[in-house]
């Protein structure tokens, strides 16, 4: 039956509406299981009822017109118990509810299974027969398996179907939820962008005839496309210059770098030399890079796949003569399958009010650019974008909600909230230059997380106290071989000089697991618990030593370098790393001894992200100068949750009681052993998270640039003594949701509610 099950799922997946999916589903199940009737009831949570969505065997006209309350009938019982029910004679069951409209008088045998997605009952799948018999275990197993397989399909179809129904019937729908990529409220009509040509449409096959002339022509065409793309990106950057901070403008430097001979362009030309057309070569090389980046768990790095796809798409557009231009004459919300930074920048700034992207996350460059421009953004929205053109949309970038063709009352409410938000933004900007000090005079260091092209990506300004995390692995991922010591030195020198006089914490090479280098492949059954981070660099001291020497050379004359070791789980790892760092220091010191240059020993720290390290804090305190908490990975490992796995992502919770206890333990140990500690995960850039951390005693927070203003605003409007009282209550709570609610109420009382919801 596995083949039949797979066929049913594939057919349902191929449909473009929920109604069609449901009808195909019941017809195929009835045929495969050789039953007299199959029906699917879908949940209508707002009314606490199951609607008969489709049937093959009951009265066809009843579909869409008949519903059963959650506490009624056997269907309701299946939903309540969340388990299958198998009855030889359903009409003899005390929960049987007779509905004359559906004409099921002749049916006796009844088998139903709940359709459950992420702990929510989405519906009930039912088969019936006129013969009074109990379905056998094979049949029951098949229906349960099918219901399980279809849960994701129906969840996705429902999200799409809600909008389809809205377009067809003009009924008010509840808000659809996505990822809040950039906070704020936007109200405007949808402007949908669909590329004229995309990677999937391009052939993988080599040219039928690839003589020297043909190859030369293809190379010439590609080089012209590269020139056109570079000019186009430079033009976009020039147009936005002055509207964006220097750090955000570096996004376009990244695009130019990807088009360079050392990166994408060089590989594409070599592919053309192998007999492929320019378009096919772009597709093959780009898809290889995209696949590598998409497989990474680090959200910042994973979203670079979007940048690569955008660059490749732009090259294809120029090769085919169909380059994207935005013709916009009124206020719009940009909607696309994958909104990119360059697509966003192409729309006139005065008319662009927000963005909605089917794919992407809060770490995509489109989201980063949206935040810098103050544009609300929703990412990861399951929408049939081709049907949305011209629809009135409301974006709530705080809750991640999208309204399509809202009722007048909803529209008026958000118009008022939008005005309140503008007032709050003006107030926050006014305090940006002020010191990060709480109402009861607790000073907080505001550090920055940096990555790609960090020397320009996050420009120094009076609002930051240094770099809390510089991801050194990013440059390694954009080259065809390990960068040389001199290449690394030049890059590190740039960022150290940019932040002259302020600490810059450089994390040593953190690859392996999900972060693969194209020239250093690692294949493992369980990469997340395998050969990665400090384990790789200690096994390859030649790589580690080159990087450390490059950092040390770069620090000469700057005196602001701090080195941090990632994924530490044991003391021997730290001891071995210290030995190698001392070796590198001696070598560099010897080489510059007669030059008059001064090389100072950098401070050394460890990243606390593996739970085992928490049990070694007293010993670590004797070996290193500082600790830095990677709260994202620490939460992931503590809760055994891969937050990039949609099946369990909902369980990832930085406010989980166990996570709070771990953070409490770390800060207590830091105070006991007098070790400076900072936190550089997403929790630091979350207003609620910052409040919790302040209550615990954390005074070094590292975050992305766009969070500096609002976290500083929070800091200046809270009282740590009051937060500590709240924290004592929080330790007694049973869930992260309760902790959020507790601190949200406090922020509301301080006039900070507008940072965690719409309005002021």
Q: Is the pLDDT of residue 654 over 80?
A: yes
Same domain, 92 and 239: no
Distance CA 432, CA 434 (A): 5
Question: Which segment of 346-355, 379-388, 409-418, 524-533 scores lowest on mean pLDDT?
Answer: 524-533
- Residue 100 is given by DSSP the state G
The residue annotated as part of the active site, out of 37, 38, 117, 680, is 680
Residue 413 lies in a domain: no
Q: Are residues 57 and 155 in the same domain?
A: yes
Residue 168 predicted with pLDDT over 70: no
pLDDT in tens, 503-527: 999 999 876 544 555 555 555 445 4
Do residues 587 and 630 share a domain?
A: yes
Closest by Cα among 638, 681, 646, 641 to 662: 638
Final residue belonging to a domain, choices 127, 149, 169 = 169
CA 402-407-410 angle, 5° bins: 65
Is residue 417 assigned to a domain?
no
User: What mean pLDDT do residues 748-756 have?
Assistant: 85
Top mean-pLDDT range of 42-46, 68-72, 193-197? 68-72
- For the chain, what's the residue count? 760
Contact 457, 451 (CB under 8 A): yes
Residue 421 placed within a domain:
no
- Token pair for 662: 């771990």
Asked if residue 24 lies in contact with residue 12, where contact means CB atoms within 8 angstroms, the answer is yes
pLDDT band at 743 (very low <50, low <70, confident <90, very high): very high
Residue 297, domain member (yes or no): yes
**173 falls in which pLDDT band (50, 70, 90)?**
very low
- Helical (H) or strand (E) element with 266: helix 264-273
Query: Which domain CATH number covers 121?
Result: 3.30.450.40
CA distances from 164 to 345, 405, 406, 728 (A): 29, 12, 14, 48
Residue 12 lies in a domain: yes
With beta carbons less than 8 A apart as the criterion, state whether 221 and 418 touch: no
Instruction: Give the mean pLDDT of 97-108.
Output: 92
Mean per-residue pLDDT for 25-45? Answer: 91
CB 628 within 8 A of CB 677: yes
Domain that holds residue 203: 177-407
- CA 212, 214, 220, 226: dihedral to nearest 10 degrees? -120
Query: Model-level pTM greater than 0.75?
Result: no
Q: What is the pLDDT of residue 513?
A: 46
DSSP 588: H
In angstroms, the CA 122 to CA 22 distance is: 13
Whole-angstrom distance, CA of residue 557 vs CA of residue 561 = 10
* Residue 208, helix vs strand vs coil: coil
Domain finish residue from 147, 169, 191 = 169
Do 373 and 498 lie in a common domain?
A: no
Contact criterion met (CB below 8 Å) for 705 and 245? yes
In a domain, 412, yes or no: no
Both 118 and 83 in a single domain?
yes
Instruction: Judge if 181 and 151 occupy the same domain.
Output: no
Instruction: Look at residue 452 in the predicted model and tell me its pLDDT.
Output: 47
Same domain, 349 and 472: no
In angstroms, the CA 326 to CA 343 distance is 8
Asked if 562 contacts 554 with a C-beta cutoff of 8 angstroms, the reply is no
| Residue 365 annotated among the catalytic residues of the structure | yes
Say what percent of the chain tops pLDDT 70: 81
Closest CA to 690 of 617, 755, 618: 755
SS3 379: strand
Helix, strand counts (H, E) of the chain: 27, 22
Going by C-alpha positions, the residue among 375, 361, 391 that lies closest to residue 185 is: 375
Whether 374 and 455 share a structural domain: no
605 compared with 156, residue with greater pLDDT: 605
pLDDT tens digit sequence for 694-731: 999 999 999 877 678 889 999 999 999 999 999 999 99
Quote the mean pLDDT of the chain: 83
Q: Does residue 155 sit in the same domain as residue 237?
A: no
In whole angstroms, how large is the CA radius of gyration of the chain? 29
pLDDT of residue 264: 74
Q: Which of 156, 365, 497, 656 is catalytic?
A: 365
The larger pLDDT score, comparing residue 741 to residue 368, is at 741
CA distance 422 to 717: 19
380-403 mean pLDDT = 84
Element housing 151 (H / E)? helix 137-169
Cβ(178)–Cβ(381) below 8 Å: yes
Same domain, 589 and 528: yes
- pLDDT, residue 517, reads 56
User: Is the pLDDT confidence value at 227 over 80?
Assistant: yes
More confident residue, 232 or 636: 636
Please tell me the least confidently modeled range out of 14-18, 448-452, 555-559, 568-572. 14-18
pLDDT given at position 179: 82
10 Å Cβ neighbour count for 61?
12
Question: Does residue 422 form part of some domain?
Answer: no
Provide the CATH number for the domain around residue 346: 1.10.274.10
What local confidence, expressed as pLDDT, does residue 206 receive?
A: 86
- CA dist 492 and 454 (Å) reads 9
For the ranges 150-164, 202-216, 289-303, which has the lowest average pLDDT? 150-164
What is the domain count for the chain?
Answer: 3
Residue 647 inside a domain? The answer is yes
- As a dihedral over the C-alpha atoms of residue 376, residue 378, residue 379, residue 384, rounded to 10 degrees, the angle is -130
Q: Tell me: do 396 and 296 sit in the same domain.
A: yes
Of 609 and 420, the one with more pLDDT? 609
Residue 166 has pLDDT above 50, yes or no: no
At which of 150, 169, 188 does a domain end?
169
Q: Classify residue 589 by burial, with Cβ atoms within 10 Å: 0-12, 13-18, 19+.
A: middle
Name the band, by pLDDT with cuts 50, 70 and 90, for residue 594.
Answer: confident
* pLDDT score of 143 more than 50: yes
Return the ∠ at Cα 153 (arms to 35 and 198), rounded to 5°.
135
- Indicate whether 658 and 727 sit together in one domain: yes
Q: Is the pLDDT of residue 86 over 80?
A: yes
Per-residue pLDDT for 170 more than 80?
Answer: no
């Amino acid at each position: 039956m596995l083949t039949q099950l797979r066929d049913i799922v594939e057919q349902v997946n191929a449909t473009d509406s929920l109604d069609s999916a449901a009808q195909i589903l019941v017809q195929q199940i009835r045929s495969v299981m050789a039953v007299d009737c199959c029906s699917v009831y879908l949940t209508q949570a707002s009314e606490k009822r199951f609607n008969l969505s489709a049937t093959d065997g009951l009265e066809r006209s009843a579909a869409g017109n008949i519903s059963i309350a959650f506490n009624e009938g056997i269907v309701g019982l299946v939903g309540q118990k969340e388990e299958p029910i198998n009855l030889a004679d359903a009409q003899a069951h005390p929960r049987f509810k007779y509905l004359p409209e559906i004409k099921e008088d002749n049916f006796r045998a009844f088998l139903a299974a709940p359709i459950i997605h992420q702990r929510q009952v989405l519906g009930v799948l039912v088969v019936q027969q006129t013969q009074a018999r109990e379905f056998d275990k094979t049949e029951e197993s098949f229906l349960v398996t099918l219901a399980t397989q279809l849960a994701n399909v129906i969840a996705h179809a429902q999200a799409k179907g809600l909008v389809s129904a809205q377009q067809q019937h003009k009924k008010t729908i509840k808000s659809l939820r996505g990822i809040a990529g950039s906070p704020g409220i936007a109200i405007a009509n949808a402007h949908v962008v669909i590329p004229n040509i995309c990677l999937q449409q391009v052939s993988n096959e080599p040219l039928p005839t690839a003589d020297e002339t043909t190859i030369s022509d293809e190379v010439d065409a590609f080089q012209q496309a590269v020139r056109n793309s570079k000019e186009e990106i430079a033009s976009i950057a020039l147009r936005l210059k002055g509207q964006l901070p220097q750090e955000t403008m570096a996004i376009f430097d990244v695009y130019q770098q990807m088009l360079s001979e050392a990166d994408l362009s060089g590989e594409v030309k070599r592919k053309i030399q192998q007999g492929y057309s320019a378009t096919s070569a772009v597709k093959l090389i780009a898809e290889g890079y995209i696949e590598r980046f998409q497989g990474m768990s680090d959200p910042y790095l994973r979203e670079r796949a979007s940048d690569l796809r955008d660059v490749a798409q732009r090259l294809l557009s120029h090769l085919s003569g169909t380059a994207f231009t935005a013709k916009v004459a009124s206020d719009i919300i940009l909607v696309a399958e994958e909104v990119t930074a360059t697509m966003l920048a192409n729309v006139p700034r005065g008319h662009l009010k927000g963005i909605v992207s089917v794919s992407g996350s809060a770490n995509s460059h489109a989201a980063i650019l949206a935040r810098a421009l103050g544009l609300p953004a929703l990412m990861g929205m399951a929408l049939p974008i081709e049907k949305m053109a011209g629809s009135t949309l409301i974006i709530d970038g705080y809750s991640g909600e999208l309204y399509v063709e809202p009722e007048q009352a909803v529209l008026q409410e958000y118009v008022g909230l939008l005005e309140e938000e503008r007032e709050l933004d003006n107030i926050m900007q006014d305090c940006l230059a002020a010191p990060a000090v709480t109402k009861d005079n607790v000073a907080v260091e505001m550090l920055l997380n940096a990555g790609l092209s960090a020397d320009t990506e996050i420009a120094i300004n009076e609002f930051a106290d240094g770099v809390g995390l510089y991801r050194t692995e990013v440059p390694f991922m954009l080259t065809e071989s390990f960068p040389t010591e001199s290449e690394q030195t030049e890059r590190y020198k740039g960022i150290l000089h940019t932040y002259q006089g302020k600490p810059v914490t450089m994390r040593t090479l953190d690859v392996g697991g999900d972060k693969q280098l194209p020239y250093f492949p690692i294949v493992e059954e369980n990469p997340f618990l395998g050969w990665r981070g400090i384990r790789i660099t200690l096994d390859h001291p030649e790589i580690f030593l080159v990087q450390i020497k490059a950092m040390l050379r770069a620090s000469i004359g700057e005196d602001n370098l701090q080195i941090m070791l990632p994924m530490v789980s044991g003391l021997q790892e730290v001891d071995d790393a210290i030995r190698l760092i001392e070796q590198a220091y001696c070598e560099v010191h010897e080489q510059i001894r007669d030059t008059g240059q001064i090389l100072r020993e950098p401070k050394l720290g460890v990243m606390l992200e593996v739970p085992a390290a928490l049990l070694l804090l007293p010993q670590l305190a004797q070996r290193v100068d500082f600790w830095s908490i990677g709260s994202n990975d620490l939460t992931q490992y503590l809760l055994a949750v891969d937050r990039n796995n949609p099946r369990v992502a909902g369980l990832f919770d930085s406010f989980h009681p166990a996570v709070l206890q771990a953070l409490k333990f770390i800060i207590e140990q830091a105070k006991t052993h007098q070790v400076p500690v900072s936190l550089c995960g997403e929790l630091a850039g979350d207003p609620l998270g910052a409040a919790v951390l302040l209550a615990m005693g954390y005074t070094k927070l590292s975050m992305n640039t766009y969070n500096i203003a609002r976290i500083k605003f929070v800091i200046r409007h809270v009282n740590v003594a009051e937060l500590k009282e709240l924290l004592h209550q929080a330790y007694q709570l049973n869930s992260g949701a309760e902790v959020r609610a507790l601190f949200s109420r406090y922020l509301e009382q301080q006039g900070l509610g507008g940072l965690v919801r719409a309005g002021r």
